[in-house]
Structure 1
Amino acid sequence: MLDDLYRQVVLDHAKYKRNYGELSEQNNISKVYYKNPTCGDVMTLYLRTGPSGIEDLSFEGEGCSISMASCSMMTDLLKNQSMEAVYNKRDAFERLIREGEIEEDIDLGDAAALQGVHKLRARHNCALMPWQALDKWLKEQENERE
């Protein structure tokens, strides 16, 4: 029963993508293009930051249901989040996919519905695609500060 609910949540995000499209305001907007190396799914992640962290984010892309649902879920999850929360959720989500572990003290929202992907090793990169785009952006931010 819970598996069916999770499947419905994933399919809903894949079909009705949240935060889909380019951010309209151009101030403080970062843009990151990412291509999944294992399957060819693609996305562009748009982020607007402020003094407290990530204020808004959205995406555009094409890919399988898992990657598109994950993009939708991640953009919902990280809106208006401090950088500390972003790093914590990023790490918790990777553990969810790679190890199948849910951290009780970190709310992953709808993204927790992707826990079943853990059993499908070939689909790990699909679920992690938006988070890997985020990693690319985080690395760019670190390089700019150096």
Structure 2
Amino acid sequence: MLDDLYRKIVMDHAKYKRNFGTLNEEGVIHEIPYKNPTCGDVMVLYLREGDSGIEELSFEGEGCSISMASCSMMTELLKNHTVEECRYKRQAFERLIRNGELEDEVDLGDAESLQGVHKLRARHNCALMPWQAFDKWLKEQGHE
């Protein structure tokens, strides 16, 4: 029953992508292109950082249901959080995908529905694609 609910959440995000498109907001918009090295899924992450952290995120891209759902979920999850909070969520999400570990103290929202991906090793990079784009931005901005 829970697997069925999770599948529905993933498919909903894949079909009705949240925060899809470019950011038309004022201010400096970071544009981070990323290509999944294992399957060819592609995305561009758009991000605006403000004084208190990540203010806006959006994305454009093409790929499988898992990668597109993960992009949609990540942009919802990180918006209006500090960079440190985002890094913490990013680490928790990687543990979820790599090991299937769901941590009680970290709220991953709808992204928790991707927990079953840990059993599909070939799909790990699909789920991690937007998070790896976020890592690229962290490194470029000196937030590592």
Output the TM-score relative to the length of structure 1.
0.96
Superposition deviation, residue 26 in structure 1: 4.3
Aligned counterpart, 1:128: 128
Aligned counterpart, 1:56: 56
State how 1:58-73 maps to structure 2 within 5 Å. Answer: 58-73=58-73
State how 1:6-17 maps to structure 2 within 5 Å. Answer: 6-17=6-17
Within 2, Cα distance between the matches of 1:83 and 1:126?
23
Identity across the alignment (%): 75
Give the AA of the match of 1:44: V
Within 2, Cα distance between the matches of 1:28 and 1:111?
27
SS of aligned partner of 2:33: strand
State how 1:91-106 maps to structure 2 within 5 Å. Answer: 91-106=91-106
SS of aligned partner of 1:142: coil
- Cα offsets for 1:39-87 (capped at 9, x unmatched): 0000000001101110010000000000000000000000000111101
SS of aligned partner of 1:31: strand
Count of residues in Structure 1 that have an aligned counterpart in Structure 2: 144
Give the AA of the match of 1:85: E
Residues 1:114 and 2:100 aligned together: no
Within 1, Cα distance between the matches of 2:20 and 2:4?
25
Within 1, Cα distance between the matches of 2:65 and 2:26?
29
- Cα offsets for 1:16-56 (capped at 9, x unmatched): 00000000124121000000000000000000110111001
Considering only aligned residues, what root-mean-square deviation do their CA atoms show, in Å? 1.2
SS of aligned partner of 2:24: coil
- Structure 1's consecutive aligned runs of 4 or more residues displaced over 4 angstroms after TM superposition are none
Output the TM-score relative to the length of structure 2.
0.98
In structure 2, stretches of 5+ residues that fail to align are: none
Within 2, Cα distance between the matches of 1:142 and 1:65?
31
Give the AA of the match of 1:137: W
Superposition deviation, residue 8 in structure 1: 0.1
